[in-house]
């Protein structure tokens, strides 16, 4: 079992523990870009949903149209995350998963 480790304090003196983004659910993401816009670092990027989903079949040309491909957010650089959780606060679909540093 992991425990949260308090890293610092806020300007107001409250304890603060960063929670870093570890995953983004491409199946529920609507590609609104809110997390991208609010992130103070370069953590996210816009990609085609088909590139992220394992069950995508490239040979199924009957139902696939390049012009209609859905774009979704993906984690570009998780190591640049500062743990502010701004992305989760603005996400209308609750797509982000976060973890704090374990003891």
CA distance 100 to 17: 7
CA distance 17 to 7: 5
Q: What is the mean pLDDT of each run of 10 residues along the chain (103 residues)?
A: 68 94 95 96 92 58 58 96 97 97 62
Domains of the chain: 30-55+68-103 (3.30.70.20)
| Residues forming a β-bridge with 45 | 74
Farthest CA pair distance, the chain: 59
CA distance 31 to 41: 18
Query: In this predicted structure, what is the pLDDT of residue 81?
Result: 97
């Amino acid at each position: 079992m992991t425990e949260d480790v308090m890293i610092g304090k806020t300007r107001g003196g409250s304890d603060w523990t960063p929670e870093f983004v570890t995953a983004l659910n491409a199946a529920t993401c609507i590609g609104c870009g809110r997390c991208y816009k609010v992130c103070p670092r370069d953590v996210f990027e816009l990609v085609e949903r088909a590139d992220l989903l394992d069950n995508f079949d490239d040979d199924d040309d009957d139902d696939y149209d390049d012009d209609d491909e859905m774009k979704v957010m993906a984690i570009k650089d998780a190591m640049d995350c500062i743990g502010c959780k701004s992305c989760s606060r603005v996400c209308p679909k609750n797509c982000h998963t976060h973890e704090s540093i374990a003891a």
